Amino acid sequence: MVLEATMICIDNSEWMRNGDYGPSRFQAQADAVNLICGAKTQSNPENTVGVLTMAGKGVRVLVTPTSDLGKILACMHGLEIGGEMNLAAGIQVAQLALKHRQNKKQQQRIIVFAGSPVKHEKKTLEMIGKKLKKNSVTLDIVNFGEDDEGKTEKLEALLAAVNNNDTSHIVHIPAGPNALSDVLLSTPIFTGDGEGGSGFAASAAAAAAGGISGFEFGVDPNLDPELALALRVSMEEERARQEAAAKKAAEESSKQEKGGEEQDATMTECASEGASEADNKKNEFLALAMSMDEPASSHDLQDTEMSDAATEDPELALALQLSVQDSAKDSSSQSDMSKLLADQSFVSSILASLPGVDPNDPSVKEVLASMQSQSEPQQKQDEDKAPKEEDKK
Amino acid sequence: MACTHDHSCEDHDCSSNWSLYKHIDLAKVTALNEANPGSVKSVFKAWEERLNSSRERLESNEGDPELLVYIPFTSDVKIKSISVVGGADGTSPSKLRVFINREGIDFSDAQSMQPVQEWELVENLQGVLEYQTRYSKFQSVANITLHFPESFGGDTTQIHYIGFKGEATQLKRDVVATIVYEITPNPSDHKTRAETGGGLSHVE
């Protein structure tokens, strides 16, 4: 959260037409610049960022340090590639632009993208570095693109001259499958001198690293830590339950003749365990939302599948049981769901749509009666399963 | 401790004269070209401790004896004189230029601007010398910037103590924050007593 004014020096020389990074070196650079601007303005609302180009007809300041992100992004459009980069002049103009910043309390920082060969002498660069250090300006160098004739050496010398207590950094990015901006995300340029990084940088890094669902469950722990925690806990519980159920299935496979009843018993046991554990868990909302999306159809599928598979493959039956358990467990602890189930017309419409269930079946009627007293709706589902299975056998 | 005043020190406590350090806003003191960031705060202490260099001192970077120290005060002060204790072996500063009530001065500004006052300093290792100011110019100082352009031949400049003698007023010099400028005043915005009845009219 350092209060900072940053000047970004872009290399728009002829060497940026090369396609070894991303769509082109220039595009990769532009993406990186956008990311940096976003990260800086997010980490502290009073931060300002400015942009200048070093090549072309000469060093040109596109936008003076401002906290208006839109302005910065807009000026990145329509930039022309050409000419040769003038690193020394670029850094000096950046220093001048920072000197005239409006808020003198901001720290001064320059970020340089050095993609083309550096034509200055090492001595010149060192003197510039010393001047920056004297005026307490920090410098970040992104070394990419061309690598020739001691460019790396010169840039390292520049960094050594500027560096004061590790506040300045240099990053070397070779051409490769990863985009320039993705590699930058993990560097101290983004993470800000080991402060631990802004939420923006961290989440962007994760999203880039593993696709959109770079995070478990597709939920950013920074944005919603409780939800992420709840999801993780439920995942672990589910795993533990599956292990326990798997053990029981191993026992049961030897007693397969007893079939449905034992499975039901297991299911009831597990479901009741699940119900007690599942109280007050936020993941219930999420799972409920998912299950609520297709309450009727999911029951359909489960019932038909169960009947088919029950007598054949005990493992498959077990898996199906567990998935039914989930929906049973979910609904059991949701007052919303139970109210829904208590709604007579809703229930009978569901039952009518289920194959093999005759609403006039006495066992079903019995169940409905018990439902209306709003006893455990999970029992109703269990009992549903039982009569259905018996019906099918 | 030796005192160059023409009285004996038992009569009064010299250190009370040099008590302006209490009015320095230490958190906001900054220096440019210092070797250790933050070491500048150690040079502001009580008169008795001016020679006590067990804590760090302000030192400039290797090979560059220039130093710039920005000191804001918590209230406006009047400065009568300044005392500077430097380091040994030519690391004492040889010149001092001060600027008043200007923020954000850096080296290029300091070198080109005309200072409010400047002095040729002498090596003052015992801290007994003080440099008098043109008091009329130092009547309401909210912040002061000290520029030490050179040393006595040393590679760096070291400063052990900076002291200010003077008075603190309770006033504070603040930026005028809310001003409404009118290009053409609208009389209806300014109700006068004549309209509301009686007395001398005046614009409110």
Evaluate whether residue B161 is within a structural domain.
yes
Q: How far is A55 from chain B (nearest CA, A)?
A: 26
* pLDDT per residue as tens digits for the range A206-228: 444 444 444 555 555 667 778 87
pLDDT value at residue A82: 92
Interface contact B104-A135, CB threshold 8 A: no
A294 or A84, higher pLDDT:
A84
Number of domains in chain B: 1
* pLDDT per residue as tens digits for the range B184-195: 888 887 776 666
Residue A57's Cβ-side half-sphere holds a number of Cα atoms within 13 Å equal to: 3
- Cβ atoms within 10 Å, residue A350: 18
Evaluate whether residue A183 is within a structural domain.
yes
Tell me which chain B residues have a C-beta less than 8 angstroms from the C-beta of A130: 64
Q: Which residue of A has its CA nearest to B61?
A: A134
Which of A108, A131, A136 to mutate to test binding with chain B, by most B CBs within 10 Å of its CB?
A: A136
Residue A208 in 3-state DSSP? helix
Evaluate whether residue B77 is within a structural domain.
yes
- Nearest CB neighbour to B107, from listed A135, A164, A165: A135
pTM exceeds 0.80 for this model:
no
Q: What is the CATH number of the domain that holds B71?
A: 2.60.120.470
Tell me which chain B residues have a C-beta less than 8 angstroms from the C-beta of A164: 37
Evaluate whether residue A344 is within a structural domain.
no
Q: How far is B141 from chain A (nearest CA, A)?
A: 19
Evaluate whether residue B141 is within a structural domain.
yes
* pLDDT per residue as tens digits for the range A85-114: 999 999 999 999 999 998 888 999 999 999
Domain holding B78, by residue range, is: 13-172
Q: Which residue of A has its CA nearest to B66?
A: A134
A393 or B202, higher pLDDT:
B202
Interface contact B64-A130, CB threshold 8 A: yes
- Nearest CB neighbour to B107, from listed A104, A134, A165: A134
Q: How far is B67 from chain A (nearest CA, A)?
A: 9
Whether B119 contacts chain A with CB within 8 A: no
Evaluate whether residue B73 is within a structural domain.
yes
A188 or B141, higher pLDDT:
B141
| Contact in structure between B158 and B66 (CB atoms under 8 Å) | no
Interface contact A134-B33, CB threshold 8 A: yes
pLDDT value at residue A340: 54
* pLDDT per residue as tens digits for the range A270-281: 444 444 444 444
CA distance A33 to A200: 15
* pLDDT per residue as tens digits for the range A280-303: 444 444 444 455 444 444 444 444
Tell me which chain B residues have a C-beta less than 8 angstroms from the C-beta of A133: 33, 61
Helix ranges (H only) for chain A are 25-43, 69-75, 87-99, 122-134, 151-162, 180-185, 188-191, 199-210, 225-252, 259-277, 283-293, 295-310, 314-332, 335-342, 344-353, 362-372, 377-392
Whether B187 contacts chain A with CB within 8 A: no
Specify which of A180-184, A331-335, A341-345 reaches the highest per-range mean pLDDT: A180-184
B48: pLDDT confidence band, cut at 50, 70 and 90?
A: confident
Which residues neighbour B114 within 8 Å (Cβ) at sequence distance 6 or greater?
none
B88: pLDDT confidence band, cut at 50, 70 and 90?
A: confident
| Contact in structure between A213 and A220 (CB atoms under 8 Å) | no
Report the percent of chain A where pLDDT is more than 70.
58
Interface contact B32-A133, CB threshold 8 A: no
Domain holding A65, by residue range, is: 4-190
H or E element, residue A171: strand A169-172
pLDDT value at residue B8: 43
What average pLDDT does range B25-52 have in this prediction? 85
Q: How many interface pairs between A and B have CB atoms less than 8 angstroms apart?
A: 20
Whether B64 contacts chain A with CB within 8 A: yes
Number of domains in chain A: 1
* pLDDT at residue A332 tops 50: no
Interface contact A133-B107, CB threshold 8 A: no
B183: pLDDT confidence band, cut at 50, 70 and 90?
A: confident
A354 or A245, higher pLDDT:
A245
Nearest 10 degrees: Cα torsion A244, A245, A246, A248: 90
pLDDT value at residue A146: 83
A19: pLDDT confidence band, cut at 50, 70 and 90?
A: confident
Whether B25 contacts chain A with CB within 8 A: no
Evaluate whether residue A335 is within a structural domain.
no
Q: What is the CATH number of the domain that holds A79?
A: 3.40.50.410
| Contact in structure between A140 and A112 (CB atoms under 8 Å) | yes
Tell me which chain A residues have a C-beta less than 8 angstroms from the C-beta of B66: 134
Nearest alpha-carbon partner for A234 in A281, A190, A200, A285: A281
Task: Give the ipTM.
Answer: 0.73
Report the percent of chain B where pLDDT is more than 70.
82
pLDDT value at residue B174: 66
Q: Which residue of A has its CA nearest to B64?
A: A134
Question: Exposed (0-12), middle (13-18) or buried (19+): which is B109, by Cβ within 10 Å?
Answer: middle
Evaluate whether residue A11 is within a structural domain.
yes
Interface contact A134-B64, CB threshold 8 A: yes
pLDDT value at residue A185: 86
